[in-house]
């Protein structure tokens, strides 16, 4: 799929939103539409605002890497329940801060300021 105009873009967003509400059985068209929307946004110079919280940064990393919570927990080598705690805004310890820095490349300064 190729999105070329703002009208095409709006139509694609509307379709994607509808699919988000009622996930189709075959995800391939939804994923292709997601990629087309992303390509259009990059071509237009759209940028997401930089997250100001650790939770926001983790959600952005999940989006960028196409990870769900289970995959992110495995990447960080922590239980899914611990990741859920972090995503709910609970504090992190030094060990997890190091893992966020080493495995996700989140700057240490950001982790310390946002945690």
Residues 89-104: b if buried by 16+ CB within 10 A, e if exposed? eeebeeebbebbbeeb
DSSP 88: T
Q: Does residue 59 belong to any structural domain of this protein? A: yes
In a domain, 33, yes or no: yes
Domain span including residue 94: 54-114
> How do residues 7-57 score in pLDDT, each as one tens digit?
999 999 899 888 877 777 888 888 898 899 989 988 898 876 778 899 999
Among 47-51, 62-66, 77-81, 110-114, the minimum mean pLDDT is found in: 47-51
Among residues 8, 36, 33, the alpha carbon closest in space to that of 20 is found at 33
Give pLDDT tens digits for 77-97. Answer: 999 999 999 999 999 999 999
Its pTM stands at 0.60
| pLDDT for 73 beyond 90 | yes
Query: Do residue 71 and residue 98 come from a single domain?
Result: yes
Integer CA distances (angstroms), 28 to 32, 35, 69, in order? 6, 11, 21
User: Tokens 């310890």 appear where?
Assistant: 93
């Amino acid at each position: 799929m190729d999105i070329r105009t703002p009208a095409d873009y709006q139509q694609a967003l509307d379709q994607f939103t509808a699919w988000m509400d009622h996930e189709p059985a075959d995800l391939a068209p939804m994923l292709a539409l997601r990629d087309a929307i992303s390509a259009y946004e990059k071509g237009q110079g759209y940028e997401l605002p930089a997250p100001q919280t650790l939770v926001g940064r983790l959600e952005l990393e999940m989006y960028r890497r196409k990870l769900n919570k289970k995959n992110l927990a495995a990447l960080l080598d922590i239980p899914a329940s611990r990741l859920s705690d972090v995503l709910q805004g609970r504090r992190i310890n030094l060990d997890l801060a190091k893992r966020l820095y080493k495995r996700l490349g989140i700057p240490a300064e950001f982790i310390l300021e946002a945690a």
